[in-house]
């Protein structure tokens, strides 16, 4: 039987792989679990991004919730962190985001938050999976007056934007910025928010049509943003992904500032202001080795999450009561607001630092020197999903390259949590060496467990 949840979400090609019936069943299961826990009808928020399948899948999820007696509150198109934030503000029992994040319009997914705004715990995800795949008879449908209601919350977008603006202290004083909305969930919020904190905003890729989300734009293709920043003589540029959880920035020269650099800037600023809990930030295992070296030199403790994924960073932050977490992909968590990554808040905090510093973005860019790094993606054949580690040839080449780089670099190989992709990272002091090792692993992976190679960065 195919596993329903991968990491912390359900995802697949909308309607064909991730069908309306499955989405309805997940909604019903969530409602049953929340009501069994509280002993009363549940209130469940449902947000979505701009992809064409979002509306019907949100409706399917709402139908599942209401059939079990819960009330479904439709938030409309909002960024993923808005759902996390509004769970607490609206006193909801749970919140759901219908999105496939960085992927193209054909895909969609379900991500679930608890009333606290944190991702739903693994134990509750397992219980949803059990109810949907093994024991659907335990999900009794309500009838008559026990059927839940569907409510459309018209103020969700503005409530979220106002919450963001309260977290920014500095007026950006007409700072000229370019914002690439990826034709996604921030298309309706970015201009309101960044203009609201004083910026002169130039929007690009902000006209979603249901099919163009993440298409040659946003964090998936930074070239349009880089070009626009230089042409408009902007002081900085920000790119988001489809659900707004991720932000990558560029300086006035068009150079890319990834999540590691953004996390470093935020950590140093928060430490200086004595706002960084325990002088510690939580990062992904994929964060650049140069970042770890820089943090040690600056008296900042780095705690690496045990597994890749935003949820694992948030969990480590919760356990240690830390308030900053980040990954090189641009997922940055400032837990004083939402309990998941918020691209708009992270980007605005960097702009706030830029304004206060009186310097250029390119000068902030030089905060540390990263190790040369090569990232490659291999599309996995279905039969090797979750099993690629068992292939001797692949395991041997990974071990060999890891041993050769020991002390001067490392190899990091993982399966994507949202798509059938093997992500290969090699980094070290010598660029040519890491390039060779990354491509050696990719070739072995392609020959044994995959289809094709896709270069992400180098």
Residues catalogued as catalytic:
101
Contact criterion met (CB below 8 Å) for 37 and 117:
no
Instruction: Give the count of beta carbons closer than 10 Å to the beta carbon of residue 202.
Output: 17
With CA atoms as reference, report the closest residue to 314 among 178, 113, 180, 104.
113
With CA atoms as reference, report the closest residue to 281 among 328, 326, 319.
326
- The helix (H) or strand (E) run that includes residue 362 is helix 361-365
β-partners of residue 73 are 45, 151
Sign of CA dihedral 188, 189, 192, 195: negative
Distance CA 43, CA 94 (A): 7
Contact criterion met (CB below 8 Å) for 421 and 102:
no
How large is the C-alpha radius of gyration of the chain?
Answer: 22
Q: Per residue, what are the HEC states of 330-345?
A: CEEEECCCCCCCCHHH
Q: List the structure tokens of 327.
A: 């990954």
Q: List the structure tokens of 429.
A: 């002091």
Cα angle at 246 between 243 and 248, to 5 degrees? 135
Q: List the structure tokens of 290.
A: 């140069």
Instruction: Tell me which residue has tokens 């659900």.
Output: 243
Distance CA 165, CA 333 (A): 16
Q: Is 371 exposed, middle or buried (0-12, 13-18, 19+ CB in 10 A)?
A: buried
Provide the 3-class DSSP secondary structure of residue 127.
helix
Cβ burial 5-29 (10 Å sphere, 16+ → b, else e): bbbbbbbbebbeebebebbbbbbbb
Q: Taking the chain, what is the end-to-end CA distance rounded to the nearest angstrom?
A: 37
């Amino acid at each position: 039987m195919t596993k329903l949840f991968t990491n912390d979400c359900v995802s697949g090609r909308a309607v064909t792989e991730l069908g309306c019936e499955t989405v309805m069943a997940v909604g019903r299961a969530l409602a049953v679990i929340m009501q069994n826990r509280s002993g009363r009808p549940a209130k469940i928020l449902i947000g979505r991004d701009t992809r064409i399948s979002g509306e019907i899948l949100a409706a399917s999820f709402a139908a599942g919730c209401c059939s079990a007696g819960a009330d479904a509150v439709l938030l409309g198109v909002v960024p993923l962190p808005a759902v996390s934030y509004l769970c607490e503000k609206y006193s909801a029992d749970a919140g759901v985001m219908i999105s496939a994040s960085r992927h193209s319009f054909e895909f969609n997914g379900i991500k679930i938050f608890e009333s606290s705004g944190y991702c739903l715990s693994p134990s509750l995800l397992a219980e949803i999976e059990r109810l949907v795949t093994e024991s659907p008879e335990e999900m009794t449908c309500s009838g008559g007056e026990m059927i839940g209601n569907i409510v459309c919350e018209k103020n969700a977008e503005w409530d979220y934007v106002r919450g963001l603006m309260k977290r920014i202290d500095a007026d950006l004083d007409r700072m000229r910025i370019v914002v690439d909305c990826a034709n996604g969930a921030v298309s309706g919020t970015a201009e309101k928010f960044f203009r609201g904190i004083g910026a002169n905003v130039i929007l690009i890729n902000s006209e979603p049509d249901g099919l163009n989300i993440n298409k040659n734009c946003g964090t998936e293709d930074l070239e349009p943003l880089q070009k626009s920043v230089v042409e408009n003589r902007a002081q900085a540029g920000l790119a988001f992904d489809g659900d707004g959880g991720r932000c990558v920035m560029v300086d006035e020269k068009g150079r890319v500032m990834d999540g590691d650099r953004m996390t470093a800037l935020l950590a140093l600023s928060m430490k200086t202001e004595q706002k960084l809990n325990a002088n510690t930030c939580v990062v992904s295992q994929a964060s650049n080795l140069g970042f770890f070296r820089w943090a040690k030199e600056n008296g900042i403790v780095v705690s690496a999450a045990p597994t890749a994924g935003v949820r694992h960073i948030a969990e480590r932050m919760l356990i240690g009561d830390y308030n900053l977490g980040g990954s090189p992909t641009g997922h940055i968590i400032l837990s004083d607001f939402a309990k998941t990554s918020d691209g708009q808040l992270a980007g605005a905090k960097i702009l706030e630092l830029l304004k206060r510093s009186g310097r250029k973005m390119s000068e902030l860019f030089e905060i540390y020197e990263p190790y040369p790094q090569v990232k490659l993606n291999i599309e996995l054949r279905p039969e090797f999903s979750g099993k690629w580690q068992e292939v001797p040839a692949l395991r041997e080449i990974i071990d060999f390259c890891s041993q050769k780089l020991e002390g001067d670099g490392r190899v990091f190989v993982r399966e994507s949590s949202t798509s059938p992709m093997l992500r290969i990272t090699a980094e070290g002091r010598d660029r040519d060496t890491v390039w060779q090792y990354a491509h050696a692993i990719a070739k072995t992976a392609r020959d044994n467990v995959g289809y094709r190679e896709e270069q992400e960065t180098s």
